Amino acid sequence: MITGKFPNLRLRRNRKSDWSRRLVEENNLSPNDFILPIFLIDGKNSKQEIKSMPEVYRYTLDRLSFVVDKALRNGIPMIALFPHTKKNKKNLLGSEALNEDNLVCKAIQLIKKKYKNEIGIMCDVALDPYTSHGHDGLLKSGLILNDETIEVLINQSILQAQMGCDVLAPSDMMDGRILKIRKALDKENFKNVQILSYAAKYASSFYGPFRDAVGSQNSLKGDKKTYQMDFKNSDEALREVALDIKEGADMVMVKPGMPYLDIIRSIRETFKIPVFAYQVSGEYSLIANGIKKKLINDHAIYESLIAFKRAGANAIITYYADRIDKILI
C-alpha cells in the first residue's frame, strides 16, 4: 500500500542516481543463485556444439574438469549432469540408467575424486535419456506404467547415490516416487542425500533443444501429457508440491521457468520451502537467438534471471550459469 500522495511523494526520487537505485533494489543475483547444467558424451577430448542451443556444448569426460574448474572460479555451488546416450545403448526398459559404467556414474566419480565436496552434484532421475521411445518411464501398450517405473527409479537413485551424487532430482513425474526413493535411500544409509523434486513439471513446448542435446528428440513417441502437468493448471501444482513435501522432498522445482513465475510465487508463499526454477532450453535458445540476431540486447539475460528471484526462486538452473562472471558485472 502506498501511503502519501503526489507531489509530497515522488517515487522517482529514489531512482534518480545509480547509487540510490542500488540502495533500494529489492532483488539481486549472486553466483550462489545458480546451478550449471552439463551435457556429457562418450569419446575423448571432444567439445561438441549443440546447434539448437548457441554456446552450449556436450563434453567428453576428459574435458569435464575444464567446465567444473570454471564453475568453481565463478562461485557456482552445484552442477547438474545430463547424458547424451548413444542409440545402441537405448532400449525399451532404459537399462543403461542402471549401468554403473554409464556416463553419469563415471562423471560423478571423476568429479568427486578430484574435487571432493567443493561443488555439489545434481543428478537427473528419469529414464528418458535411456529409453528407445524417449519417455521418462516404462511404456506398455501406449501407456506409461507408474508403479513399475518407480521400481526402476529407486534403483537408479541408489546407484547414483553410491557413486557420490549429492542431490537426486526425480524429473519423471510419476505419482508416489519421492516417498519410495526417500525410504530406499534411508534404508541404504544415504540419509544425507538430498531430493530435489521436479514437483511442478509441465508438459511444455519449451523442451525441444534439451531433447536434442540428450539425443531423445527423434526417438520420442507421442507426448508426455499423461504424466507431466497441463500448462492451463495452477492449483494442481500446489497439490503436486504438497504431496512431494509430505513424501520427503527437501526442495522442489518448477519447470519451465519464465512462463510459470506465478507458480513459483504461489509455491514459495504457500509452503515456505526452497523453490528452484529451471530456465529450460527453449527459453534459453529464444533469448540467445534473439541476441544473436540483434532483436534484443544481452541485458535481456540478466532481466530474465532476476525475474526468477523476484518471483521467489531460491536458485536457478540455467545454461547461462557458465557465463555468470560476465552477466553479473
Return the active site residues. 201, 255
The closest of 171, 276, 272, 189 to 227, measured between CA atoms, is 171
What residue has cell string 547444467? 37
Query: Angle of helix 64-73 relative to helix 103-115, nearest 10 degrees?
Result: 50
| Backbone phi and psi for residue 111, each to the nearest 5 degrees, phi listed first | -65, -45
3-state secondary structure of 72: helix
DSSP lists the bridge partners of residue 123 as 81, 168
In the chain the first and final C-alpha atoms are separated, in Å, by 33
**DSSP string covering 267-292:** HHHHH---EEEE--HHHHHHHHHHHH
How far is it, in rounded angstroms, from Cα 306 to Cα 316? Answer: 10
What residue has cell string 544481452? 298
How far is it, in rounded angstroms, from Cα 255 to Cα 265? Answer: 13
Please name the residue ranges forming H helices in 25-176.
64-73, 103-115, 146-163
Could you tell me the three cell numbers for 60?
567428453
What contacts 19, CB < 8 A, 6 or more positions away? none
